[in-house]
Amino acid sequence: MRRLLIGLGGVAVVIAGIAFVLWTNSAPAPKPVAPAAPAPQASQTPTPVPESAPTIPSFDVVRVDPSGHAVIAGRAAPGAKVTVLDSDKPLGGVTADDRGEWVLVPTAPMPPGERRLTLEATDPKTGVETKSADTVALAVAAPTPATPSQGQGTVAVLLPGNANEPAQALQTPNAGNGGLSLDTAEYNDKGELMLSGHAGPNATLRLYADNQPLATVTADAQGKWSSVSPRPQGHGKIELRVDQLGAGGAVAQRIAEPFEPPTTVAAGGQYTVQPGNSLWVIARKTYGNGLQYTVIFGANKQHIRDPNLIYPGQVISLPKS
């Protein structure tokens, strides 16, 4: 069409002019159009913006040195005032920085004994208080002739509020030195096997139960790892194995531990400790809450000097409450 108009030149303009005159003379007069209804006014009331869920404070680090002095660190909302509670009594307070990170160094050393640490954070804008979902079970060992400094055998275990998530050892005699360890092992309410431990930072690990592959996991930058796997085949005692892989996928380190979950744990009687047991596992199976390990420890102080040092074949009492 464009080539035709260019080739005809002025003739095309004349034809177009004639066609326009004929169309205007023959077309009927346009009907009047009714004015459009005015558009409804937008509401002047702003749409409420839903409030974001509060940031739940959490633990990252709980460590006690041989002198009993502690370092406790974690995360919360930026600018929040964080209070560390020792069995519901304030241990100290600190303000989270712009990244939501906080560190508390209590001035007084932690005395020997068992305690339960929780968190409470106050939002600087709203004043709303939020409590931590997780709890740290902390046992500061008393000095002994073999370990004259208190805190030498301290154990700190992070117990998730969700019982179907694995516990995480924050401090044990093996944790933090880069060595490979299997710190916790237990079945959750779904029958899954929950494991956690330590390894080299960012190390790749392969987990086995009686030589059955369970999972392949990677330790974080601090060397902590955890896994939740389907229940392995078989019943009763199993051998848990952790392989840390080196260059080229070869096994650089390996550990193996026997594990037999408590199957006949009832309050109000005697229980014989099985390989792989811990007071947290026994308390969770007996009372439904791992924090109740202090109840077992308190009833067996004549047999258990350190809650982390129980051994297979040891007979302990399980109080009714």
Would you say the C-alpha torsion 8, 13, 19, 23 has a positive or negative sign? positive
Mark whether 255 and 287 lie in a shared domain: no
Mark whether 67 and 128 lie in a shared domain: yes
- Is 61 in a helix, a strand, or coil? strand
Q: What is the DSSP string of 272-289?
A: E--TT--HHHHHHHHHS-
What tokens appear for 168 in the block? 């995480």
pLDDT at 304: 78
pLDDT at 26: 40
Q: Is 59 within the bounds of a domain? A: yes
CA distances to 150, 161, 186, 207, 227 from 194, rounded to whole Å, are 31, 15, 5, 11, 6
Mark whether 76 and 122 lie in a shared domain: yes
CA distance 194 to 231: 9
Whether residue 146 contacts residue 156, with contact meaning beta carbons closer than 8 Å, is answered with no
CA distances to 54, 91, 310 from 80, rounded to whole Å, are 11, 17, 40
- Contacts of residue 282, Cβ cutoff 8 Å, sequence gap at least 6: 262, 265, 271, 273, 293, 296, 316, 318
Q: Is 25 within the bounds of a domain? A: no
Q: CA-based angle 39:45:48, to the nearest 5?
A: 125
Q: What is the DSSP string of 93-143?
A: EEE--TTSEEEE--SSPPPSEEEEEEEEEE-TTT--EEE-S-EEEEEEPPP
Closest CA to 99 of 120, 75, 71: 75
Residue after which a domain boundary falls, among 259, 288, 306: 259
pLDDT at 18: 28
pLDDT at 257: 85
Mark whether 153 and 58 lie in a shared domain: yes
Q: Tens-digit pLDDT profile for the chain (321 aa)?
A: 333 222 323 333 322 332 333 333 444 444 555 555 555 454 455 555 455 677 899 999 999 988 889 999 999 999 999 999 998 899 999 999 999 999 999 999 988 877 889 999 999 888 999 999 998 988 887 766 555 554 456 888 888 888 788 888 888 765 545 588 888 888 887 888 889 888 999 999 999 999 999 999 999 998 889 999 998 876 677 889 999 999 888 999 999 988 876 655 667 777 877 655 677 778 877 876 666 777 888 888 777 776 666 766 678 888 876
Whether residue 61 contacts residue 92, with contact meaning beta carbons closer than 8 Å, is answered with no
Q: Is 212 within the bounds of a domain? A: yes
Q: Tokens 């997780």 belong to which residue? A: 134
pLDDT at 237: 78
Query: What is the four-CA torsion angle of 306, 83, 291, 133, rounded to 10 degrees?
Result: -140
Q: CA-based angle 160:172:289, to the nearest 5?
A: 30
- Contacts of 175-179 with CB under 8 Å at 24 or more apart are 176/63, 176/223, 178/223, 179/253
CA distances to 6, 12, 26 from 15, rounded to whole Å, are 14, 5, 17
Residue after which a domain boundary falls, among 238, 259, 280: 259
CATH number for 291? 3.10.350.10
Residue 146 carries which DSSP code?
S
Around Cβ 274, how many Cβ atoms within 10 Å?
Answer: 20
pLDDT at 298: 81
CA distance 177 to 199: 9
CATH number for 110? 2.60.40.10
For the chain, how many structural domains are there in total?
3
Domain that holds residue 215: 174-183+192-259
CA distance 64 to 242: 27
Q: Is 298 within the bounds of a domain? A: yes
- Contacts of residue 171, Cβ cutoff 8 Å, sequence gap at least 6: 62, 63, 64, 154, 155, 156
Mark whether 123 and 84 lie in a shared domain: yes
